[in-house]
Amino acid sequence: MTTRALAELESTTAHKPAVLWVDDNPDDLLLFQLAWEKAQVTNPVRCTTCRKEAMDYLEGRGKFSDRDAFPLPCVIVIDMCLPDGKASDFLRWIRAHPAFKKLVVIVLSGTANQEEVNEAYRSGANSFLLKSPNPRHLHTTVRLIQSYWLTRNSLPKTPASASQPL
């Protein structure tokens, strides 16, 4: 990518709210990033691979302390099953945290297990989507997230720092 193209991309994403994608599968992360680019979503996306890393990201701890590089997201997309626990545990944590309780959280799962769906919603999920290994379906999922959650839906303003409540 040329310097000019990179500068143009940065200027179009500088004022767009970020999206945090939490998934431990590197293949799924790569497919997601490709679908994100193909769908031409201009919101910056940041990726973490487990609940603890996502919590560190939100609280601006450790390597995530630079809010310019790691802005608070307006939407979090999280895999239902992670190596350090379920998305439902993360959801309960986020809904109990005053600074993050209004963030939109979308849960993805590779199965349509009704108990998982119920558990995600009981824990505070805003949406539950099936994760498809088919890149075309993932592209459709990304477009749905963009169309509804990032374009049509009115989101609460995210604070400049984790210490300010939404």
Is residue 74 included in any domain, yes or no?
Answer: yes
What is the mean pLDDT of the segment spanning 154-164? 55
The answer to whether 93 touches 52, Cβ cutoff 8 Å, is: no
pLDDT band per the 50, 70, 90 thresholds, residue 7? very low
Q: Are strands 73-79 and 127-130 parallel, antiparallel or unpaired?
A: unpaired
- Predicted confidence at residue 6, as pLDDT, reads 37
For 95-122, what is each residue's pLDDT tens digit?
999 999 999 999 998 887 899 999 999 9
Residue 10 forms part of a structural domain: no
With 0-12 CB in 10 A as exposed, 13-18 as middle and 19+ as buried, what is 157? exposed
Check which CATH number belongs to the domain holding 105 and give it: 3.40.50.2300
Mean pLDDT of 40-68: 95
Query: What pLDDT is stored for residue 52 in this prediction?
Result: 95
Assigned domain for 40 exists: yes
Is the pLDDT reported for residue 156 higher than 90?
A: no
Q: Which structure tokens are listed for 29?
A: 């992360």
Whether 6 maps to a domain, the answer reads no
Report how far apart, in Å, the C-alpha atoms of 66 and of each of 17, 62, 102, 161, 163 are.
Answer: 16, 9, 22, 10, 14
161 falls within a domain: no
- Structural domain boundaries enclosing 63: 25-152
pLDDT in the model for residue 162: 43
Q: Which residue has the higher pLDDT, 10 or 28?
A: 28
Q: Is 46 a residue whose pLDDT tops 70?
A: yes
Residue 119 lies in a domain: yes
Q: Would you say residue 18 lies in a domain?
A: no
pLDDT classification of 151: cutoffs 50, 70, 90: confident
Q: What is the number of domains present in the chain? A: 1
